[in-house]
Structures are given as C-alpha cells and as structure tokens.
Amino acid sequence: MLRLASVNVNGVRAAFRKGMQPWLDERGVDILALQEVRAERDDLVGLLGEGWVIAIDEATAKGRAGVAIASRVPHLRTSTTLGPASVDTAGRWLEVDIETPLGNTLSVVSCYVHSGEVDTPKQDSKYEFLELMGKRMKELGLTSSPSVVVGDLNVGHRTLDIRNWKGNRKNSGFLPEERAYFDQWIGVEHTPEYNTGSQGRFVDVGRAFHGEVEGPYSWWSWRGKAFDNDTGWRIDYHLANAPLAATVAHYVIDRAPSYDTRWSDHAPVVVDYDI
C-alpha cells in the first residue's frame, strides 16, 4: 500500500510553526506533495528532516507559490517543464517519477493553479496555465503507467464542490470557462463517460470515493465562520489515470478538529493506493 498526501501548506515554514509536524509524524505518508511552499529547498530539507528525497520547483518571485514532492524512495525523473518560461518559472508544476514496489513507474504531479481574478491579468494567467496543463494532462492520461495529478487546482468542478455555489457563479474558481477544462479531463457530469477514466480521461478520486454528496470540502476561508459552518470549497484533488484509479483503497480529507488547530486554510487530501 502506498499513501500519497497532498496539501497546500500556505507557506511551509508557517505550517510547521502551527502544527504540521505532528500531523506528518502520525500519518505514515510515503509521498508528500506540497503546494504554495513559499520557501527554498534548504528550508524544506530542514523542516522535513532525514529520510525524505525532495524535489522542489521554487518560483522565481521569492515568497510566492512553489510546489514540492517528497518521497521515501529516490526519484527516477523530475520535470518542471509545462510551457514557456513565464509559466515554468512560476513554481506551479512539478512532475516526479517513482519506482513502485511492483517495479513499474508511478508519475506524480504536484500542481498549484492560479487563484485568478475576473477581468484582470491574474485570470489571463490562470487560463494560460490551464490550457498548457490540459495538453500535458492528455499525455499523462493516455499512458499505460499509473499517473496522478494532485494539488490545489483552484476550481470547483461541480455544484457539489462548493457550498455557496450560487453566489460564486461569476467568481474565479467556479466560472463556466474554468469548469470546462475539468469537463475535458474528467468528463461532463451525468454523462456515461463522467469520472470513468475512459479515453485518456482522469478519475476524480474524491468524487469517485464519496459519490454524489456535497463536498467533502478541502478549503475554508480564514474569515468569519466559514470553517465552523463548513462553508467550504473542494478545490484540492487527486486526479488519477485509469490504471492508478483502479487501485484506490481509501480516500480522506484530514479536516482539523477545530478552527484553532488548523495549520493551513487547506486540509490534506490523503489517498491509499494498493500498488
């Protein structure tokens, strides 16, 4: 069994100060994918300690974005190449190949999609990234080897993924144009191909595991009573291709027990793959 956890740490140094270490010690994670690291490689090495093989894609702009993957076994390949330099220096896409206990190769992507903002350059950057991401997703989806794209993808695909979806129909994160990319990758809801992983598509592991229910959510605003009232968004995903999706044994979002015990505004998404 291989346990893969993904979480937007909202700054890894701050997350460790607030209590990430005890969570990591207890969870028995084999592969840890992080987003919004906001730190350098030496910082991450010092925080995680011995026993981890670390790959990190730091953003050129210090203190911004950054994605990382840490595993208990060596990496066969790493890549941060997705598109032009303007994209590949943003610290938002990291691929790592790892040899599994079965002797085949598992490809893991830690991805941090832009949050965006309607009618601003931030939204233009988000669409540029989603377009390039889509091209790579097609390649990964068609491979016969297991592959998974995890991370903060900053889009709620369906109305089930956002508590207040009606009030967010014109906001970045739930725009029809953004959700259309997920239709391409996962399938259109209520159609035969939805979430089956057929024809090179991916399986949304969280939705497949929990079925047609609201949430469970992975992000809550720090403001107001969003966390206490569970007014959240499910924007952190494990998107597995068909060979890997068939091995899912368990899926859970590690929601903190209370507002004051949170060490990020996102909760870790933890999946056990029987490989």
Tens of pLDDT along 120-151? 999 999 999 999 999 999 999 998 899 999 99
Q: How far apart are the first and last CA of the chain?
A: 6
Q: How far apart are CA 100 and CA 275, in angstroms?
A: 7
CATH classification at residue 204: 3.60.10.10
**Domains contained in the chain, number:** 1
Domain that holds residue 51: 2-273
Tens of pLDDT along 12-31? 999 999 999 999 999 999 99
Contacts with 195 (C-beta within 8 Å, 6 or more apart), sequence order = 186, 187, 203, 204, 207, 208
Q: What is the mean pLDDT of the chain?
A: 95
